[in-house]
Copies of this chain bind each other. A is one copy, B any other.
Amino acid sequence: MIPRYSRPEMTAIWSPETRFKIWYEIEAHACDAQADLGVIPRENAEAVWKAKDVEFDVARIDEIEAVTKHDVIAFLTHLAEHIGSDQARFVHQGMTSSDVLDTTLNVQLVRAADILLADMDRLLAALKKRAHEHKDTVRIGRSHGIHAEPTTMGLTFARFYAEMARNRNRLEKARWEVATGAISGAVGTFANIDPAVEEHVCARMGLRPEPISTQVIPRDRHAMFFATLGVVASSIENVAIEIRHMQRTEVLEAEEFFSPGQKGSSAMPHKRNPVLTENLTGLARLVRMAVVPAMENVALWHERDISHSSVERGIGPDATITLDFALNRLAGVVENLVIYPENMLNNMNKFKGLVMSQRVLLALTQAGVSREDAYRLVQRNAMKVWEQGADFKTELLNDPEVTAALSPAEIEEKFDLGYHTKHVDTIFARVFDENLQH
C-alpha cells in the first residue's frame, strides 16, 4: 500500500482493528449458533457479546503473538482478557484458525468490492455526462495513430462507458465469487462442529456457506477476483492512454484540469503534463501484478498449505486500495477534462479532405469502377495531399478519370461531415438505453 495512492475508506478495511473486529464477530456468532445447538452454554455465548464495543488492542495482541507465534491464539487470549477466561473457554470450540481467517478475508474482499462498485458508479456517471455533452463534437477517428474517418468525442466517452459498464458487471461477479464463508474445521469435514454453525455465521456476515472447503476456502475464487481487478485496471489504462494522446502538444484535443497553484515542471513553467493519466498507466500495472500470484495461490498442498497467506497479505490490500484510488482519480480526470473542440477540427483538417477518401472510393466503385481501379484513383490523389499539401477535393475535381465516373456535385457531397455522424444516436441508444443486455 502506497499512502499517496490510497483512500481512507478502503484502507480502513485492511487495518488490524477492522480485522480483529471481524474475527470477533465471527467468533461471537459462532458461539450463538453453538448455544442454539446446545453444544455450549447459552450464558457463555452471551458473555462473548460483552466485548461488542471493545476496540481491540493491536499492540497487546502483537505482544502475545510474539510468544505464541500464532495470530488467532493470540487474539483469543486477548479476548479472554476482556470477557474473562472462564467465560471465554467455549470460544472457537470446534473451529480451526482458518475458519476465522478465511471467512474474514472474504468479508474484507466483499466490502472492498462494494467500494469499488460505488467507485465505478461515479466513473460511469462522469463518462455518461461527458458523452452526452460531446455527442456531436466531431473529431478525427484514428487507427494506427493515423487519421482515418471522422467520429465524435461523445462516441469516445460512450465506448469507455460501455467498457466500464462491462467492468462493473464483472466486479459484481467477482464480489459474488468471494462472498462465501467456511466454518468447517481442520480439514473441512465438520467433524467437531455442526454445519449449522457455518450457516448461521455466514448469514450474519453477509456470505454464502462454501459448499465444500478443506481447511481453507478454495483459492480459485480469489484468483478470479484478482483477475477481474486486473481487467478493470487494464481498462483504466485504456482510458488513460487515450487522454495522454489527446494532451500531447501536437494533438492538444484535451487537457487534464490544471489547478491555479499547480506547477507543471521545476524547469519548464509552460508545461501542462498529463500526470494523472500517466500515473494511472502505472497504477494499472500495480493492480495487474496481483493477477499471476493469485493464480499461483490456487494449487495448495492437500487440505491446505500456507503459501497463499503472505501473498494475500500483500495483494489483498494493495490491489484493492490501488484500484479504488485509480477509479476515483480517473473519475476526477473525466469529470474535469478540458476539451478543445476547435483543435479537434483543426487536426481533422490537417490533410485537407483526405479523411473522406473512403467515401470517394466507395462512390467510385458504386459508379461502376472496379475496386482495383477505384483504389488506384483514390490513392493517386491522396498522395498529392499527403506529400504536397494539396486539397483532396480539388485534386479529385481535376482528375479526369475521377470526373468520368462522378459528377462535381457527387464529389462535393462526399465531403459532408453529417454523413459520418448519422448513426451516433443509434449507437448511444445501444450503449445507454440497452446496456444491460450486452
Contacts and interface: CB of A to CB of B under 8 A. Distances in A.
Contacts of A147: 249, 271
A224 B231 contact: yes
A145 B244 contact: yes
A186 interface: yes
Contact of A142 (B148, B301, B420): B301
B189 A247 contact: no
A375 B291 CA distance: 40
Interface stretch (A17-25, A163-171, A398-406): A163-171
A129 interface: no
A212, A293, A438: most-surrounded residue (chain B CB, <10 A):
A212
Contacts of A189: 141, 149-151, 155, 420-421, 423-424, 427
Contacts of A427: 188-190, 211-212
Contact of A195 (B88, B223, B318, B423): B423
A426 B188 CA distance: 12
Given A218-B159, A288-B292, A301 B435 contact: no
B275 A144 contact: yes
B302 A141 contact: yes
Nearest to A74: B263
A385 interface: yes
A235 B358 contact: no
Interface in A1-53: 1-2, 4-5
Contacts of A371: 76, 85, 88-89
A303 B195 contact: no
B162 A265 contact: no
A361 interface: yes
A306 B278 contact: yes
A146 B187 CA distance: 11
Nearest to A249: B147
Given A247-B145, A305-B144, A423-B195, A151 B188 contact: yes
A70 B426 CA distance: 32
Given A261-B69, A270-B382, A309 B282 contact: yes
A249 B190 contact: no
Nearest to A272: B146
Nearest to A72: B266
A310 interface: yes
A211 B162 contact: yes
Given A92-B266, A282-B310, A212 B159 contact: yes
A113 interface: no
Contacts of A223: 230-231, 234
Contact of A231 (B290, B295, B365): B295
Interface in A278-308: 278-279, 281-286, 288-293, 295-308
B263 A68 contact: yes
A298 B234 contact: yes
Interface in A36-92: 67-70, 72-73, 76, 85, 88-90, 92
Given A234-B296, A250-B250, A155 B188 contact: yes
Contact of A295 (B234, B274, B370, B426): B234
A191, A272, A311: most-surrounded residue (chain B CB, <10 A):
A191
In the complex, the 8 A-B pairs of residues with the closest C-beta atoms, listed nearest first = A141-B187, A270-B382, A145-B248, A144-B273, A282-B310, A234-B298, A269-B379, A281-B307
30 contacts: A1-B1, A5-B310, A67-B261, A70-B265, A73-B263, A93-B362, A96-B266, A141-B189, A141-B214, A143-B271, A145-B244, A145-B273, A146-B248, A146-B273, A147-B249, A149-B186, A150-B187, A159-B214, A162-B212, A163-B218, A190-B422, A190-B423, A223-B231, A230-B295, A241-B299, A267-B358, A270-B385, A272-B386, A292-B292, A296-B296
